[in-house]
């Protein structure tokens, strides 16, 4: 059974102050495009609505009066009131009946869920400009080490029976006279073995370049003979032995007899002999106490007879070596030492910041009350 249609009279009067609004619910939700699809005007809509009702087989109920007594109260009130108030959103508007499905179905609007936004991440603090730091100007790199041969050629003539320890601040060589025993034997002290060997090689190489083989002869005791390959080519070098070889004892005996013979001759400007000992602490460990006493005697008495002892010693081993042996040397050449305060009580150590020296390139010495810092030229 078809539902009872509700026909609502059309209102021709409108309040001038209020905007015109549609009377029906479907017109409220229908857009402008849907209104254009429907080609019916208001008059045609009322006529067609009656025609649709007349075509049906059913007749209106008998109890329905022509005057419209069965209409709802609000509808009757609208007929009696010549100027009805426009409908509001609070009172629902009546629906139209017997319309095409696309017009009769009420558009269902479901409230869209409120958008959920993630909590905003806290903004990072504004970057502050870094304080300007005053940096010291970059230090210029140290000059490349000069070649020993070029130094000798530049400063000719140099006297025979001498050797070069290094280059002073004015690029002039520090020359040591081998005929003056007042300097005493030389001891090279530093942290690094390679830096000590480089200074030892420079001193021995200068003796080879400034003297002919008949004026200077060299014997070398070292645990690393391959570190002196450039020196092996010189005719001044007699032999190289290791501190743990039996030949080292025979070498010390020959040196002892050579000094005794020189003390009897008392001749000046005769050939000198250089005994170089690399890492003297290893040699001292191989000697018996009485043999070590003979070695100290050679260190003290040798320069007066033309026998010069030049030895190297790691700075960490200076206190493990016999103190009498260390004091037997007359001149100490100090290289780079990371902790120079450990050598404060050693006699002959220059009062200089040894940690500031460049390993293998710089050294210093103290002669009387003067401290001299010098550079080491390369022999090879």
What CATH code is carried by the domain that includes residue 285? 3.40.50.300
**Residue 173 pLDDT > 60, yes or no?**
yes
Cβ(335)–Cβ(199) below 8 Å: yes
Higher pLDDT: 336 or 268? It is 336
In this structure, the dihedral spanned by the alpha carbons of residues 45, 46, 50 and 55, taken in order and rounded to 10 degrees, is -10
In this predicted structure, what is the pLDDT of residue 143?
59
| Residue spans of alpha helices (H) in the chain | 25-29, 32-37, 42-55, 73-80, 101-104, 148-154, 193-210, 247-265, 280-286, 289-301, 323-327
Establish if 117 belongs to a structural domain.
no
CA 41 – CA 43 distance, rounded (Å): 6
- Torsions phi, psi for 269 (to 5 deg): 55, 50
- The region of weakest confidence among 83-92, 242-251, 255-264 is 83-92
Percent above pLDDT 90 for the chain: 47
Lowest mean pLDDT among 87-91, 226-230, 248-252: 87-91
**Tally of CA atoms within 13 A in the half-sphere of 105 that contains its CB:** 6
pTM of the entire structure? Answer: 0.63
Are 155 and 98 contained in the same domain?
no
Q: 127 in a domain, yes or no? A: no
Q: In the structure, what pLDDT confidence band is assigned to residue 219 with cuts at 50, 70 and 90? A: very high
In-domain check, residue 121: no
pLDDT of amino acid 352: 82
134 inside domain: no
Identify the residue whose tokens are 């001193």. 203
- Radius of gyration of the chain from its Cα atoms, rounded to whole angstroms: 59
E strand map for the chain: 162-167, 173-177, 186-190, 216-221, 237-241, 272-277, 307-314, 331-334, 362-367, 370-375
User: Is the same domain home to 200 and 90?
Assistant: no
Tell me, yes or no, whether 72 and 179 share the same domain.
no
353 confidence band (pLDDT: 50, 70, 90): confident
Of 1-5, 27-31, 47-51, 154-158, give the lowest mean pLDDT range: 47-51
pLDDT grade, residue 71 (50/70/90)? very low
Confidence of residue 47 (pLDDT cuts 50, 70, 90): very low
Q: What span, in angstroms and rounded, lies between the C-alpha atoms of 167 and 174?
A: 6
Q: What digits encode the pLDDT tens for the residues 294-345?
A: 999 999 999 999 999 999 999 999 988 888 999 999 999 999 999 888 887 7
Domain match, 156 and 93 both: no
Listed residue (358, 337, 360, 361) closest to 350, CA to CA? 337
How many CB atoms sit inside 10 A of residue 186's CB?
25
Q: What residue has token string 């208001």?
A: 42
Task: For residues 94 and 224, state if they share a domain.
Answer: no
How many domains are there within the chain?
2
Do 74 and 176 share a structural domain?
A: no
The reply to whether omega before 157 is within 30° of 0 (cis) is yes
User: Can you tell me whether residue 264 is helix, strand or coil?
Assistant: helix
Confidence class for position 141, pLDDT limits 50, 70, 90: low
Residue 311 resides in a domain: yes
The residues facing 154 across adjacent strands are none
Residue 143 lies in a domain: no
Question: Does any domain span residue 137?
Answer: no
Highest-pLDDT range among 8-22, 36-50, 67-81, 207-221: 207-221
Predicted local distance difference test score (pLDDT) of residue 76: 46
On whether residue 303 sits in a domain, the answer given is: yes
Question: Side-chain half-sphere of 299: how many Cα atoms within 13 Å?
Answer: 23
Residues 211, 157, single domain; the answer is: yes
What's the mean pLDDT when you consider all of the chain?
A: 77
Which pLDDT does position 52 carry in this prediction? 44
Which range marks the domain in which residue 80 is found? 25-104
Residue 138: per-residue pLDDT: 57
What percent of the chain has pLDDT above 70? 61
Residue 9 confidence (pLDDT) above 60: no
* Interacting residues of 154 by C-beta distance below 8 A, sequence separation 6+: none
pLDDT higher than 60, residue 282:
yes
Task: Assess whether pLDDT exceeds 90 at residue 6.
Answer: no
């Amino acid at each position: 059974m078809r539902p009872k249609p509700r026909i609502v009279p059309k209102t021709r009067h409108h309040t001038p102050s209020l905007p015109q609004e549609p009377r029906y619910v479907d017109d409220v939700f229908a857009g402008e495009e849907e209104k254009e699809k429907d080609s019916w005007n208001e008059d045609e809509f009322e006529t067609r609505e009656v025609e649709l009702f007349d075509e049906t087989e059913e007749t209106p109920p008998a109890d329905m009066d022509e005057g419209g007594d069965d209409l709802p109260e609000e509808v009757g009130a609208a007929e009696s009131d010549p100027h009805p108030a426009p409908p509001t959103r609070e009172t629902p508007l009546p629906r139209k009946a017997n319309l095409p499905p696309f017009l009769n179905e009420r558009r269902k609007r479901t409230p869209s869920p409120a958008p959920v936004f993630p909590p905003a991440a806290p903004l990072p603090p504004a970057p502050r400009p870094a304080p300007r730091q005053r940096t010291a100007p970059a230090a210029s790199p140290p000059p490349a080490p000069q070649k020993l041969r070029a130094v000798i050629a530049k400063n000719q003539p140099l006297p025979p029976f001498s050797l070069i320890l290094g280059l002073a601040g004015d690029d002039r060589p520090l020359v040591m006279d081998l005929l003056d025993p007042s300097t005493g034997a030389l001891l090279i002290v530093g942290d690094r073995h390679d830096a000590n060997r480089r200074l030892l090689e420079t001193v021995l190489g200068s003796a080879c370049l400034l003297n002919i083989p008949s004026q200077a002869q060299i014997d070398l005791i070292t645990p690393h003979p391959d570190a002196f390959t450039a020196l092996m080519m010189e005719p001044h070098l007699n032999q190289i032995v290791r501190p743990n070889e039996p030949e080292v004892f025979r070498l010390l005996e020959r040196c002892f007899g050579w000094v005794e013979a020189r003390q009897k001759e008392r001749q000046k400007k005769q050939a000198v002999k250089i005994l170089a000992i690399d890492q003297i602490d290893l040699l001292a460990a191989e000697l018996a106490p009485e043999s070590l006493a003979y070695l100290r005697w050679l260190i003290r008495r040798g320069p007066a007879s033309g026998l010069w002892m030049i030895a190297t010693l790691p700075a960490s081993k200076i206190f493990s070596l016999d103190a009498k042996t260390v004091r037997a040397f007359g001149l100490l050449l100090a290289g780079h030492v990371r902790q120079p305060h450990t050598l404060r009580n050693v006699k002959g150590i220059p009062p200089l910041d040894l940690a500031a020296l460049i390993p293998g390139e710089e050294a210093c010495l103290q002669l009387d009350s003067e401290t001299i810092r010098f550079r080491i030229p390369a022999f090879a």
